[in-house]
Structure 1
């Protein structure tokens, strides 16, 4: 259980001016999650038009899993997109959600992932070598953002021009989001919509194997009435894939790199015994889940841990808090290899909106760890770390110095 010190906050503490609302520093946020979990597990925040924060594992799991009582259509992420855009599958529920998820899942079967792995590994080795040759570099901005963009290129089967655009745009987009440069954010967001539109138009004329191409798979799918999916929603789905599949893996990879720079014993243990990697990856995902702002809304008034929540009020399913609940995971802030109940972590969410790319994400992390452990004797953080704004949590800039063999 957390210590008394861990559960303390200043006497004048107010959630509306708290670290979890105003700060991006994970340790401060985790500290306040500990406090809320014990004293106010269902807390209301006034910012972003008002939303609820859940910090207990069981509450987060229930709200994320119960797709009848809690839906995503009204609000899927806090802060919500002010334009009110509803991109599937994240902001679709029930039968409307199903064909989009079916189409995406079709492209992530084990056989395709097996074919993609050596290609993804080659991109990883090439992009990491740039930093190794220099001896230093930002693992998020100069490696992760580029590598995950190349992975997107392979998954979506982009042509050379759009591949180059995607690789070049992600890092500027994240910097603009971090610094509040909304004109640049909009510019790159629209550029990604352009990529999605071009991909869909190309596949309409010359479809690819639907098991190996998301756009072709979506064009093949039908809704509950047997009709083709709306083209703008297909475009929106591709656009959704672009952002989620780049942001989350890059944060997790960066967090793991930082973690292993601080735990040399674990770094060397994993380097010397690769059979430990699957278990280590699950514990890394539990500790460094990159989301704190995914949300649901109740269809009717619901009572959660003794608090009544009105319908249509956003409820954040805070996976980063749930995964550090000591009632579920003893010594939650500690890395423990082979936790008995590690399979219960919520690092990939739960319910119908559980991450579609779970197997791909695990493979990405494994390939990254195998590559850096093979080619690098050690590494250390060598500069200021910058952390993500809501709805994410974790590092979005982390300078590293490498010592290669």
Structure 2
């Protein structure tokens, strides 16, 4: 691989996982601080310690300039993802308040019922369309990621945000259309679907302003309780942005990870049998699945000053991608990193939920 100060790599035009990870392996070994001119130009970190440092040091590596690459084609910034302390703090405090153990305990049985109902509906639909020998035609196969993953994730959002039940299918459909448009960088369609998500967020905020709920149990009411660094109530449009951000992030990762888990288990029958026989192993398995198949390849930060790393200088103001998918497979940290190993001694070190102040707010809910 040619190392230059202009372009060290071109992102492979292939979504085959092992090819993507192979490129990360090459960069980690040969060029751990790499640059590309694609997507406006950015730097890529692939080593665990470098990614961890960038994610943890929010004074040097800020989120308010750009949080993802490619970024929203409309250039919109929403809290808390696209903010830095102290502006970031009240939004994060409000969301964390609604994800304490007591709240999660209340949600557990509700979400279990939603999961069973949504999965049974897909299973019975598939069985009803099977032939008399029990063979399921190709058109009736279940897509565990796009169907169950999306629908269940919508019910998780509806339950956490205390939305009306009829919102769940609308949210599932709209979020999927938004994600696909964003991936294509289709400005018109992204704006159209984002507008629908904003409508949900605005309606939710208006309802809670008229009839507040317990801030310990309701994210919108919790956000309304907070004040900014200036001691003033948070701006309504920023509150709407925070709720809209909450709607989206909870809809993107779960379908991806659920699909990865099921694909892995379908190929590893021994592990599948072991988890069925001893469900107490599932939490540990989930952590290893998150490490191995982190649903977000990475997030972006922008250095406030020039950063010297591995003999290279990243100028201030140039975006850096913290590649969690590469860091979680760094052989210097995780032995046999491309293999599933139940109960890894250092599994709690994985960066599947991020690190630092921008660690995934929904982490406790996602784990549950």
Structure 1 equivalent of residue 196 of structure 2: 191
Structure 1 residue 255 and structure 2 residue 260: aligned? yes
The CA deviation at 1:312 is 1.1
Whether the 8 Å CA contact 2:161–2:219 is kept in 1: the answer is yes
* Matched residue, 1:74: 65
Structure 1 residue 250, shift from structure 2 partner: 1.4
User: In structure 1, what is the equivalent of residue 82 of structure 2?
Assistant: 91
The count of corresponding residues between Structure 1 and Structure 2 is 351
Q: Secondary structure at the match of 1:153?
A: helix
Corresponding residue of 1:56:
47
Choose the corresponding residue for 1:264, options 264, 269, 276.
269
Point out the structure with the larger strand share: 1
Map residues 30-45 of structure 1 onto 2, 5 A cutoff: 30-45=21-36
Q: Could you tell me the TM-score, scaled by structure 1's length?
A: 0.83
Match for residue 243 of structure 1? 248
Cα distance, 1:178 vs structure 2: 4.9
Equivalent residues of 1:197, 1:235 under 8 A apart: yes
RMSD: 1.8
Determine whether 1:348 maps to 2:339: no
State how far apart, in whole Å, the 1-side matches of 2:214 and 2:48 are.
Answer: 40
Q: Is 2:321 the counterpart of 1:316?
A: yes
Q: How does 1:325-340 map to 2 (within 5 A)?
A: 325-340=330-345
Question: Does 2:149 match 1:149?
Answer: no
The equivalent residue for 2:138 is none
Displacement after TM superposition at 1:62 (Å) = 0.4
Distance 1:239 1:16 in 2: 34
**Residue in structure 1 matched with residue 111 of structure 2 by the alignment:** 120
Superposition deviation, residue 210 in structure 1: 0.5
| 2:166 is the alignment partner of 1:166 | no
The 8 Å contact of residues 65 and 82 in structure 2, kept in 1 or not, is answered as yes
Which residue is 1:372 aligned to?
Answer: none
Cα distance in 2, alignment partners of residues 33 and 167 from structure 1: 32
Q: Secondary structure at the match of 1:53?
A: strand
* TM-score of the two chains, using structure 2 as the length reference: 0.91
Unaligned runs of 5+ in 1: 1-8, 364-405
Quickly say closer, same or farther: Cα 1:81–1:176, change in 2 above 3 A: closer
CA distance in structure 1 between the aligned counterparts of 2:176 and 2:71, rounded to whole angstroms? 22
Q: Distance in 1 between matches of 2:47 and 2:278?
A: 35
Residue matched to 1:234:
239
Structure 1 SS opposite 2:308: strand
| Mapped contact 2:150–2:255 kept (Cα < 8 A) | yes
Structural mapping, 1:358-369, within 5 Å? 358-363=363-368
- Is 1:299 the counterpart of 2:304 in the alignment? yes
Does the CA-based 8 Å contact 1:59-1:305 persist in structure 2?
no
